[in-house]
Structure 1
């Protein structure tokens, strides 16, 4: 049966029965429990080395997770406590309604997704080793709270009523919510705001109002600098003849999407190093003795939207395959804290179709008497994320690593690139994706190419897929081997193995290796043969060039030093393609008219002429260039149009587009007019044209302002440094910044405030003696401003000063900052 063809449930009981089937169909029964443990149930040793990196050894998997939960809580207790009240639907209870009822909307939205029912059903079905890690992590986190006491917690949650113990269901519900980052996450308030229109002639009672995301806000989500670069280098391109890896995820520097670094060892069972998201046991990006891997956010789809045709005169009934079916109504009540400390209940009825929740996008996808909008989420039934990563953490070779994907299919929204010690690399977009029939895809492609204005707008503005929900022809199709009916099975996911390299920088699977483009697959995995982003183009340039000045030198074989230098060299593809041409035109005609005034470009010409084209800390010219290119409209500026004369050629993806659009035969040169605009903007902000980049690009860390190198996604720089607020936290907030003068570049009157971008940096090589790795956690290990590990690595990052990863016992013991504590619990 195709997903979406089930008869919609006609009662809450029926809905819960259906949820029980769909949420758990991918799980396996729990094996028989092991014999009772001897001695303490959990026992772990936590050794911290320089910069606060914890190396945790446990007698078993539950114990090592116990130590990890405790050490994590020392660095980020408040952040997880906040996320737990979010998924519980209790923010309004503890924090009040929030600005514009934001906390109430969040509570209602998460309650409507019923994460706790899903979590309660999933936990008992976890395999014993995974469940014991979940239990151990919870016990360690709770022990930290018990030892510290409410008053001893960091200032962000000290004595807060919501800073309380958690259980394994809380943690599982939170993990499910993490899987919704590129799907339901963006529609939480859109769910809460969705209410049926009143029938003609009937006046409804006033209700609480919630601000649903506009199409412009959804577009901003798409254009955020949240992504990554991931390189896996094989034997043919590695000077040492073994596997190498570069991890460079770009994520927010605050909130629940921060990474936290740790080293986990269970002798004879597991030895893994790397980072994970807050509150997640194990390692999500990292390495063990046999294999190394990283992730990049996938360009594929995690959900599809549906337009429902409503029954005449019945705004809560819709037509499906010619029959009339009712929406499912569920009433939710949240408690809202009042200024006097009392709690007031707020009740709201929310609706869902058999596809999923009803939503509204004001001005675009409104609930009218004729139509309503809903969506289906590929990750709402994903309870396998921890099992997936646990299998990867313990893999002893590439085959076992791949088997973790085939068995669990728990990757929510990322690509994976990996390299093994023997020099084989592998790429897979194993993220959950809708499995649509070819007929449905062709119908959607036609609709989103102009035939349906809203479908076209949603795709172009927010990369959202809108389908006709009145027919089962557009339902998700079941395929053998899929984790949940209606998803693409692992066997059909895009994948490639090479001995030279594979990479991804958030474009589709297609150009994983430009020498071996993958065949075109469903656009639910992203589009093939489309112009890649400037950053992807810069990645390809560095990976394929073989010149003395190139990233891998004249021999084309990377050393670890060359890998490390390449990912932070701050080269800009836009400057390499266009800078010389802009300078030549500017020097020939050093003035242009902007805003009705003649602008002298002499200083601008000299600044760009002296610039080396890189976004390094001391680069003078980078700021002017960013403001110049930022004038060209996105997100498709990096193709033939107002900037490039030669458009993208899918048969020459590394060398196209190219060449600056020529000046017209008469009138002013648009390129120089844009340069004049950039000059005017910077002068208006009192920023010198030749200011060093790090003078105006900085990260506020406590009372210190740390100047930084790096560029934007649209600058075509691998090392992305930007400002972003993709998070749902009420603690560890991004730094405030003044009014934004140029949205495309993030320029404010104080410059460029950094709150996002390169996060965990790692360059690694396998050698005959083991693993040689270097790393940086750009925002540092702790979110507590009182911690010595709050900004220490940020200062290292500002200097491009990597640190050696301490993976062997010898290296750990040699650290002069080594501390140790042993914990146990019955």
Structure 2
């Protein structure tokens, strides 16, 4: 039965009310509705059909690329209009205009930093350099977003921005400003608090800067992910399989949004993209699929300047004093009017204010950014989406060179797999590398920042440390595509945020600049378990007797929640517990028999119903983050670069006559859990909770130390949104983040996809862990979160027949522009 519905009747479902859109609801059969174009004159510039299937996935069909992206933006805005509006305010340097100075002048500092980064000027250059079809795509996307705002009364927007004066129509150039910022995600975007507050000594208005401790996540952005690409030698079908498992925030602008774009005979691409970005970032087409992980390399280099003793706004360069450049910027502040601030630049880039180092009369920090000039970001993504073979896909990497900060794993229908870390990376000379590595040992600041997370600090007063231009990279001073780590295989390639070195352990990639990442270095437990799963290691024989993966087997493997750390130490721990039941902890005697019985019965997984997972997590809380990388407080056998997947291992034994630290840690876990009022036998889902509005959903998955592929957790600082975030209460002392609400989850596995290229084309399943819509009124606000909590994968509807047959199919025709 078919019935036609007025558009406004579907407003609660789609969060839209259009006077220029035709909407029909179907029971699975094909239909076409009449078009209501009241208020429009002439032929619209764009027209697209949005077909929403189960869980709110948007399949957009159009006759041309501009219209397809018009429709994609319209559908995106139905789910996330507030998120993009918030980011446009940010990159326009208008946060203080609408929200005041902010706590600790945070909004004001952000506005000044984005002015200092000159995102407007760089956006114009990006636009001018863009091919015509990229301009068409961005214009279509902006028009689609604007059309949604025209069709939706301000008061009917989601509650996060309903009636807000800062939600406005945008221009294509506003989107490009935002894309400049996204390109800086592993660099300048993370340095806003350091850039916007940098003032020379003697200035009376000097301000606190960004914290030294905050620099530790700059090389990774704090992001994680697992990415697998399996070739013919490793799959049961002989075609490629791609497994995507990006670990990103569950709130804010870094969420992923799912869609399917079809332009007949031109484009047919399915997957997820970042908020407000045209096309697909991670996904598949008829020929191949791909995924990304955040690169372990560095997207910038710090420079330590030796200042001119007579002028703190000048520095020595090859023995000569070189003046800095000053630029004064102006920001409008709510209730105050215009406020100005002068910021400073070396020839490398903006000056930085790092607490407690600051900017003294002797030394200062500046930086050079590998992605500050990346006009090809959108061209790169659209080129990947349109590739009709793996060779064409690689050609986009070679000719465009627009990848900003990710590794790529891809596989095609012929069973070829490919890995590359094509992220923008500085090219420095061997002499500069040697000098920097010597300074790590000899110079306190250089060594300290390297220990903070592999940060590179070069001597900015010596031209030896300038970036080297080879003439064949996207921008001067970068490593060209021909020089980046890459690997083609017929079995598998993978990455889990360690460096390129072990993209396949059978063929380590070596001999590259350390700015790409480390070689022959300890690997995280997550990298190790990824490798073991793919190798069908006897510890985790997930591919069965034949060692070849089916789609069912890769799904079970990536969501199996096996804990490698538990597998490495738990047998030893239980033996010692059997030998000594009582342990003194902080003056109290703790009986370990019950906890050891529970751990002995535990399945060593972090599944929803796993009893013992919480105990083991709290046991590991006694050990530092680095304890899982090499011999130390936890492991006895050290890391061996000749066997990097299987080392380190074995629980460290106590020295002769010393108290067993492992049993003390276990006793501390018992005390901490009892202090928190947590039953020792609590299943994981009872404590590990993901808030979606007023509902908290128990989810599976583990933390980094636990050696689990499927990561979930809490991170307070991974996005810049001013929209509501998920915050956790104060944690119980000594625990692994346990609060009165349990373990609060706002980060981790996001779009989990497994797609196989078989004889009948691509087939896959997935879930978007935080669900498709950010509007609490939508039925798709938490439906996939509940799927994820139950490990219930859903099919990816790629074929026209499957889309038409979906029982929840809704079609909307949108036009305008």
TM-score by length of 2: 0.93
Q: Deviations over 1:751-800 (max 9, x none)?
A: 10000000000001001111111010000001111111110000000000
Q: Does 1:652 align with 2:656?
A: no
Partners of 1:225 and 1:91 lie apart in 2 by 24
Partners of 2:69 and 2:719 lie apart in 1 by 25
Counterpart mapping for 1:81-96 below 5 A = 81-96=85-100
* Structure 2 equivalent of residue 348 of structure 1: 341
**How many residue pairs are counted as aligned between the two chains?**
776
* Structure 1 equivalent of residue 289 of structure 2: 292
Q: Is the CA contact (8 Å cut-off) linking 1:82 and 1:729 kept in structure 2?
A: no
Structure 1 residue aligned with 2:807, among 808, 816, 821? 816
Q: Does 1:194 align with 2:198?
A: yes
Partners of 1:302 and 1:755 lie apart in 2 by 26
Unaligned runs of 5+ in 2: 1-41
* Structure 2 equivalent of residue 123 of structure 1: 127
Alpha-carbon distance change, 744 to 770 in structure 1, aligned in 2, over 3 angstroms: farther
Q: Point out the more displaced range, 104-113 or 118-127.
A: 118-127
* Structure 2 equivalent of residue 516 of structure 1: 507
Q: Does 1:445 align with 2:437?
A: yes
Partners of 2:241 and 2:721 lie apart in 1 by 38
* Structure 1 equivalent of residue 24 of structure 2: none
Report the alpha carbon displacement of residue 41 of structure 1 after superposing the two structures with TM: 2.2
Report the alpha carbon displacement of residue 220 of structure 1 after superposing the two structures with TM: 5.8
Report the alpha carbon displacement of residue 592 of structure 1 after superposing the two structures with TM: 1.6
Q: Is the CA contact (8 Å cut-off) linking 2:125 and 2:375 kept in structure 1?
A: no
SS in 2 for 1:318: strand
Partners of 1:410 and 1:743 lie apart in 2 by 44
Partners of 1:397 and 1:347 lie apart in 2 by 52
Q: Is the CA contact (8 Å cut-off) linking 1:296 and 1:414 kept in structure 2?
A: yes
Q: Does 1:242 align with 2:239?
A: yes
SS in 2 for 1:747: coil
Runs of 4+ aligned residues of structure 1 deviating over 4 Å after TM superposition are 220-225, 546-549
Alpha-carbon distance change, 432 to 577 in structure 1, aligned in 2, over 3 angstroms: same
Counterpart mapping for 1:360-371 below 5 A = 360-363=353-356, 365-371=357-363
SS in 2 for 1:388: helix
* Structure 1 equivalent of residue 12 of structure 2: none
Report the alpha carbon displacement of residue 86 of structure 1 after superposing the two structures with TM: 0.4
Q: Is the CA contact (8 Å cut-off) linking 1:224 and 1:724 kept in structure 2?
A: no
* Structure 1 equivalent of residue 13 of structure 2: none
Partners of 2:554 and 2:222 lie apart in 1 by 22
Report the alpha carbon displacement of residue 103 of structure 1 after superposing the two structures with TM: 0.3
Alpha-carbon distance change, 85 to 442 in structure 1, aligned in 2, over 3 angstroms: same
Report the alpha carbon displacement of residue 727 of structure 1 after superposing the two structures with TM: 3.8
Q: Is the CA contact (8 Å cut-off) linking 1:101 and 1:210 kept in structure 2?
A: no
Report the alpha carbon displacement of residue 637 of structure 1 after superposing the two structures with TM: 3.4
Q: Deviations over 1:731-760 (max 9, x none)?
A: 443322210235873222321000000000
Q: Is the CA contact (8 Å cut-off) linking 2:638 and 2:648 kept in structure 1?
A: yes
Partners of 2:655 and 2:554 lie apart in 1 by 43
Partners of 2:368 and 2:187 lie apart in 1 by 9
Report the alpha carbon displacement of residue 39 of structure 1 after superposing the two structures with TM: 5.0
Partners of 1:546 and 1:329 lie apart in 2 by 58
Report the alpha carbon displacement of residue 223 of structure 1 after superposing the two structures with TM: 8.5
Q: Deviations over 1:502-533 (max 9, x none)?
A: 00000000000011111231011100000100
Partners of 2:741 and 2:814 lie apart in 1 by 47
* Structure 2 equivalent of residue 226 of structure 1: 223
* Structure 1 equivalent of residue 385 of structure 2: 393
Counterpart mapping for 1:136-151 below 5 A = 136-151=140-155
TM-score by length of 1: 0.92
Partners of 1:548 and 1:322 lie apart in 2 by 59
Unaligned runs of 5+ in 1: 1-37, 199-203
Q: Deviations over 1:585-644 (max 9, x none)?
A: 111111222212222212211111111110001111111111111211123532111111
Structure 2 residue aligned with 1:358, among 351, 354, 360? 351
Partners of 1:195 and 1:320 lie apart in 2 by 21
Q: Is the CA contact (8 Å cut-off) linking 1:582 and 1:671 kept in structure 2?
A: yes
Q: Point out the more displaced range, 220-229 or 118-127.
A: 220-229
Q: Does 1:41 align with 2:38?
A: no
Q: Is the CA contact (8 Å cut-off) linking 1:356 and 1:375 kept in structure 2?
A: yes
Partners of 2:668 and 2:221 lie apart in 1 by 24
* Structure 2 equivalent of residue 301 of structure 1: 298
Q: Point out the more displaced range, 185-194 or 758-767.
A: 185-194
Partners of 1:734 and 1:724 lie apart in 2 by 11
Q: Does 1:159 align with 2:163?
A: yes
Report the alpha carbon displacement of residue 414 of structure 1 after superposing the two structures with TM: 0.4
Report the alpha carbon displacement of residue 549 of structure 1 after superposing the two structures with TM: 6.2
RMSD: 1.5
Q: Is the CA contact (8 Å cut-off) linking 1:105 and 1:210 kept in structure 2?
A: no
Counterpart mapping for 1:519-534 below 5 A = 519-534=510-525
Q: Does 1:406 align with 2:398?
A: yes
Partners of 2:44 and 2:539 lie apart in 1 by 59
* Structure 2 equivalent of residue 27 of structure 1: none
Q: Deviations over 1:131-187 (max 9, x none)?
A: 101000000000000110222211111111110011111101101101111111221
